[in-house]
Chain A
Amino acid sequence: MHEFSIIQNLIPQIEEFLLKGNYKKVNKILLEVGVMSGVIQDALEFAYDICSKGSAIEGAALSIRMVPVSASCEKCFIKFEVHDYSFVCPQCNGADLKFLSGSELTIKEIEVEEA
């Protein structure tokens, strides 16, 4: 249940942002979560519902964009999406990959109301 730790890291960052920009409130929060980040979307939403209550961001809608795993082959340099956890190059079957996406845990954007 490390999703609680993650949300507890998220909330103060948004609160600080509101305070600094002197915004009235936040309506929406968009997160990007990589499929390989080890975070479960449902658990994140559940933790958010519980932890946001009583905080300055209470009521803000959380939306989560899941990011697929993508990689490039270090041999033939093609880029591809990894499906089904098959970590080999579809062209040469090589396993020497560079990961381009899939482990994100990012606050992408927020929608705020100006004071």
Chain B
Amino acid sequence: MTTKVITIDTQILKKNEIAASENRELFKKHKVLAINLLSSPGSGKTALLVHTCSVLKEKINVSVTVGDLQTEADALRIARAGVPVVQINTGTACHLDAHMVQQSLKSLPLEQTDILFIENVGNLVCPATFDVGEHLKVVLLSVAEGEEKPLKYPPIFQHADCVCINKTDLLPHVDFNLNQCRDNLQRICPHAPVFEFSCKTGEGLSTWYNWLLNKWAAAFGEAC
């Protein structure tokens, strides 16, 4: 009996990578800027999308894909903002993968979409590993979660193209050290701009909208 060692050198998530590249091709074809929105459960991803969609839809076309283990609740909230939205129920999976996103794209008007938001499953670990074909990763955290989040979950923060700190209206009520949080972010993702806002009062959201519009204009848009 002979044994031999064979070099393989293939990605374990090869299938996901293929689907992610297909998604990227589709986004390119339809000139869609795809944004993967990541956070712990309850940081305010859906709240942020409700605001963002209501405001941006006056200027550009927005669509949303939203992932949760169960329920259509988030899609219903976003639909009320008056934009096309699809809910993905992942069942037991703790993250969206490129296939799930690909399926959901079939129900969205991509040819009339400028920015697609992909609300990932609330989780700061697993979604970091799965490329869904997005152009940008936005990581959200809320002041109710503690300033150490970036140090505890470096992979997701390290790949962030921008970081949003939400629920600033709660700052007087929680022992959240905002300066420390900024320092921690500076350490883990020095390249990422940080936006601080409240989805409850709306304060601080305009810089986030401008960042999005600039990113879109730089990628696909005509000067606006």
A-to-B contact residues, CB < 8 Å: 1-2, 5-6, 9-10, 13, 17, 21, 24, 27-28, 31, 36-39, 85-88, 95-96, 103, 105-114
Contact = CB atoms under 8 A, between A and B. Distances in A.
Given A13-B12, A105-B11, A112 B125 contact: no
Contacts of B224: none
B46 to A, nearest CB: 22
B4 A111 contact: yes
A36 B155 contact: yes
A108 B8 contact: yes
B6 A109 contact: yes
Contacts of A28: 5
B5 to A, nearest CB: 5
Interface residues of B, number: 35
Given A87-B190, A106-B9, 16 more contacts: A2-B95, A2-B125, A2-B130, A9-B12, A21-B6, A24-B1, A38-B129, A87-B188, A106-B11, A108-B7, A108-B8, A109-B5, A109-B9, A110-B8, A112-B4, A114-B2
B129 A6 contact: yes
B8 A107 contact: yes
A87 B158 contact: yes
**Which among A31, A96, A103 has the greatest number of chain B C-beta atoms within 10 A?**
A103
A88 B14 CA distance: 31
B67 to A, nearest CB: 13
B154 interface: yes
